Amino acid sequence: MSTSSPPIPSTPLMTPAPPTSAAMLGADGMPMRFGKYMLLRKIASGGMAEIFLAIQRSVAGFEKLIVIKRILPQMNQDRAFIEMLLQEARIAATLSHPNIVQIFDVGEVDGRFYIAMEHVHGEDLRSVVRQMKTKGTLDFPLEHALAIILGMCQGLAYAHDKTELDGSHLGIVHRDISPQNVVVTFTGDVKIVDFGIAKSDNKPLESATKSGKLKGKVPYMSPEQARGENIDHRSDIFAVGVMLFELTTGKRLFKGRSEYETLKLICERDYPLPSQVRPGYPPDLEQIVLMALAKSPAQRYQTARDMQADIEAFVRRRQIAVSNIALNKFMQGLFEEKLAAQKEALLQGKQLADIIDYHRGAEQELEMTGERRLSMTASSMPAAAHTVTNLPAQRSSGGFIALLAAGFGVLLLLGGVGGFLWMRKAPVAAEQRPDPGLRGTIDVSSDPPGAAIWINGDLRPETTPAAIGGLPLNTNLDVKLSKDGFENGRESLQLEDGKVRKVSVALKKGSVVVEVSIKPEGVPATMAVDGKTFKGLLDGLTSGEQHKLFVTAPGYVEQTIPFMGNAMETKRFDVILEKAKVAKPAASDAPSKPTATVAAPPPATAEPKGNGKISVAASGGWCNVSIDGAPRGATPVAGIEISSGNHRVTCTTQDGKTLSATVSVPVDGTARHKFTL
C-alpha cells in the first residue's frame, strides 16, 4: 500500500482496478455475499450447520428477507449426511401451509450446501415463556395457549395428510415437536419450524435411523419414540399434548434429573392429572389433554384434526376469546424493547448490504468494460446509498481511492487490502434546515465523537457531532447514541419552538459484569479481579481488555482464570476448588508432635495427569457449547473425552447471550456442568 494518494481529478470519475476482496464491514464479515443471497447476520450455530438472516434480491427492486441454513465445511465430507439433508429438504419443500415454515430453495455455493427458508419474525415458545417470567407474568393466558395449540394442530394435520402427486400418502412425521420448534410471530400467527429431521414413510432416512440416536427433545417424546420403536404421526400428537399440559398448568410434565430419568417418567410412570397440578382445571379440557397423552397410540387422537375439533368445541362452549389479533397484541407488548432493537439492527444491516451490492455492481461493470470511468446517478444508487449522500470530499494517506459522485458528493474510501467502506455525512448546513417555525432542529454531540445516532429507533446517516433538522415539534423524541466499546447513551426530549436544542452525551466505557459461584459451597473463599476483592458479583470492569480472576481458600489450590468481556456482557464462572496436597510428617517425628501442613500448588509446568470426560447441559433452553474455544455442538453435550484439569466452557444462546464457566475435569472421571439460561 502506498504512503501517499494521487491527486483527485476534478471530473466526476473514476476508480482504479477494484479491490481484490469483498467489502468486509463487520468483525464477522457481515454483511457478505453468498451466491444469489446477501447474508446479513448469523442467528445461530450448531454442530452441523449455521443459520443466517439474509436478503434475496431479483429484478425490478424485488427484495425478500429469508433464512439460510448453511452446512458447516467439515460436514461436507460426510456424503451420507448430505444425502440425508437433501432428502429431508425435499420432504419439507413439499409443504406449503400458513402454520409451517416454507422451504424455498436447496443448493450449493462454493462447495457449501444450504437450505433457504421462510423468515419468520417472531419468537419460539420457549423464549415467550422466558420473557413472561422476566415481565412478572407467571400464568400463560388460556386463550393464547389454545390459539397456539390450534395453530400447531392445523399445521400438523396438513403435514400428516400430505400426499405425492400420484395420491400416495407421504406419511410425514415431524419427530421434534417442542417449544423450540414452535414460533409465535409478532402478527399473531403460529409456525412450526425445523422439519429437518422429519420422516417420510415413502422416503425413509436410512442414515438417520441407523445411527441408533434418538431424534427430538426428550421431554416431548412419546413412549414409543423414547423406547426407540417405529413411530407414526400419533407421536407428534403426544408431543402436542405435552405442550398443552404445560401451557395450561404452568408446570413441566416430564422433568427428571437426567435424560434417563426423564425417559423412565415417560415410559413407566403414571402421568399427573392437570387438575392435580392446577385446582379448578376445566374437566372437558382435561379430557382432551389425557386423550392426547395416552401411552398407547391406539388410544390417542388418531389425527391432529380430531384434536383440533375437540379444542374448537371447548372454545365455543366456554366462549373463550381465541384470536390472532389478541395474540398479536400480546406478543407486541411482551417484546416491545426487543422489537425496537431488531428494527435498528435490521436497518443497519440492510444499509450495509445495499452499499456492498452497489459497489459489487460497479466492480462488475469495470470488469466487463475495462473502463476506469464510473458515472453515478440517483436512479442507479441503492436505497442505502441515497442516505449517505452530501459527503465532503476527503483524502486519506492509506492508499484509499475516492469516488466522487457529481451532484451528491458521495465519498467511499476503499481500503486496498480489506476493501473497507467508510461513510460519513457532514452536518446539515444552516441554510438547508426546514423553516424553524414549522419543524425543529437538534445539535447532537458526544464524548468521544463519532457515535451513530438513532431517533425513535431509526438509524440516522449522520454521526456525532451533527445538526439534524426537520424534526417534529411537541413530539417525544428518543435520541440514542451508540459506539463500539461504549455503552449506549440516551436522552428523551420534545422540541417546542424554533430554537436549536443541544443534546450532549458523555458515553461511558462499556463495562463487564463478573459473577462467581464456588464449589464446594460454604468454603470461605477470597475472590479478586486484577487485585480488587469482591463477593459473588463485580460490576464496572472495562470491556475489551484482559483481566484475571483469582480465587483462593485455605486448604485449596489457588486458581487463576484470565478472561476478556464485551461491553454489557456478564461473565459467569463456576469455580470448582481442589484440595491442596498436604505434606506428610517425617518418620522420625513423634506421633504426638504437631506437624505443619503446607499447601502445595502444582507447578506451572506440570504435565497433564491423564484424561477424563466432560458433559454440558442447559436448563431453560439450549445453547451452543465450546470447550477451550473449540465448538462442541448444541446442548446436551455428553461424554466428551478431554485432558484432566481446568477447561473453559462457553455456552452461547441463539440470541447471542454468552455464559462461561471454568470446569475441572478429574482423571478417569466425568465432570458435569449445567448452565441456567
Average pLDDT over residues 43-70: 82
Q: pLDDT by residue (tens digit) across 551-593?
A: 888 888 888 888 877 776 788 888 888 887 665 554 444 444 4
Question: What is the pLDDT, as a whole number, of residue 21?
Answer: 40
Task: List the single range of 344-353, 496-505, 530-539 with lowest mean pLDDT.
Answer: 344-353
Q: How far apart are CA 653 and CA 457, in angstroms?
A: 25
Q: Is the pLDDT of residue 646 over 90?
A: no
What total of structural domains would you count in the chain? 3
Looking at residue 171, its amino acid is G
Question: Are 497 and 531 members of one domain?
Answer: no
DSSP-derived letter for residue 319 is: T
Question: What is the pLDDT, as a whole number, of residue 605?
Answer: 41
Q: How far apart are CA 143 and CA 628, in angstroms?
A: 46
Whether residue 550 is contained in a domain is answered as: yes
Task: Give the DSSP H or E segment for 348.
Answer: helix 336-369
Question: Are 530 and 501 members of one domain?
Answer: no
Question: Are 437 and 544 members of one domain?
Answer: no
Q: Is the pLDDT of residue 120 over 50?
A: yes
Angle (deg, nearest 10), helices 304-318 and 142-161:
150
Question: Are 281 and 146 members of one domain?
Answer: yes
Determine contact, residues 448/426, Cβ cutoff 8 Å: no
Whether residue 234 is contained in a domain is answered as: yes
Question: Are 541 and 620 members of one domain?
Answer: yes
Place of cell 479481579: 529
Whole-number percent of the chain with pLDDT over 70: 70
Whole-number percent of the chain with pLDDT over 90: 21
Question: Are 124 and 175 members of one domain?
Answer: yes
Average pLDDT over residues 309-319: 94
Task: Give the DSSP H or E segment for 308.
Answer: helix 304-318
Beta bridge partners of 637: 616
Average pLDDT over residues 219-232: 91
pLDDT band (50, 70, 90) for residue 541: confident
Question: Are 486 and 617 members of one domain?
Answer: no
Question: What is the pLDDT, as a whole number, of residue 295?
Answer: 93
Single out the residue of 224, 226, 229 nearest to residue 259, CA to CA: 226
Place of cell 464462572: 573
Q: Are strands 532-534 and 526-529 parallel, antiparallel or unpaired?
A: antiparallel
Q: Is the pLDDT of residue 224 over 90?
A: yes
Whether residue 32 is contained in a domain is answered as: no
Q: How far apart are CA 444 and CA 431, in angstroms?
A: 18
Q: Which of 465, 491, 506 is the last residue before a domain boundary? A: 506
Q: How far apart are CA 414 and CA 421, in angstroms?
A: 6
Whether residue 542 is contained in a domain is answered as: yes
Structural domain of 475: 430-506
Single out the residue of 304, 278, 280, 279 nearest to residue 291, CA to CA: 304
Residue 31, preceding bond cis, omega within 30 degrees? yes
CATH of the domain at 159: 1.10.510.10
Residue 320 burial (CB count, 10 A): 17
Question: Are 457 and 535 members of one domain?
Answer: no
Looking at residue 654, its amino acid is Q
Whether residue 369 is contained in a domain is answered as: no
Q: How far apart are CA 495 and CA 503, in angstroms?
A: 12
Question: What is the pLDDT, as a whole number, of residue 531?
Answer: 64
Q: Which of 285, 317, 334 is the last residue before a domain boundary? A: 334
Question: Are 309 and 167 members of one domain?
Answer: yes
Give CB contacts under 8 A, 24+ apart, made by 289-296.
289/241, 289/244, 289/245, 289/248, 291/241, 292/237, 292/238, 292/240, 292/241, 292/244, 293/238, 293/241, 293/242, 293/245, 294/238, 295/223
Q: How far apart are CA 13 and CA 34, in angstroms?
A: 30
Whether residue 89 is contained in a domain is answered as: no
Q: Which of 506, 539, 569 is the last residue before a domain boundary? A: 506
Whether residue 631 is contained in a domain is answered as: yes
Whether 484 sits among the annotated catalytic residues: the reply is: no
Question: What is the pLDDT, as a whole number, of residue 282?
Answer: 94
Residue scoring higher pLDDT (496 or 317): 317
Place of cell 422466558: 130
Question: What is the pLDDT, as a whole number, of residue 529?
Answer: 82
Average pLDDT over residues 591-607: 42
Q: Is the pLDDT of residue 289 over 90?
A: yes
Whether residue 307 is contained in a domain is answered as: yes
Question: Are 221 and 323 members of one domain?
Answer: yes
Question: Are 560 and 672 members of one domain?
Answer: yes
Q: Point out the catalytic residue in the list 124, 176, 354, 574.
A: 176
Question: Across all residues in the chain, what is the average pLDDT?
Answer: 74
Looking at residue 142, its amino acid is L
Determine contact, residues 568/511, Cβ cutoff 8 Å: yes
Looking at residue 198, its amino acid is A
Question: What is the pLDDT, as a whole number, of residue 654?
Answer: 64
pLDDT band (50, 70, 90) for residue 196: low
Single out the residue of 76, 84, 72 nearest to residue 210, CA to CA: 84
Q: Which three cell numbers stand for residue 629?
A: 474455544
CATH of the domain at 443: 2.60.40
Question: Are 135 and 150 members of one domain?
Answer: yes
Determine contact, residues 665/614, Cβ cutoff 8 Å: yes
How far lies 310's CA from each of 165, 177, 287, 313, in Å? 31, 20, 10, 5
Task: List the single range of 153-167, 304-318, 381-395 with lowest mean pLDDT.
Answer: 381-395
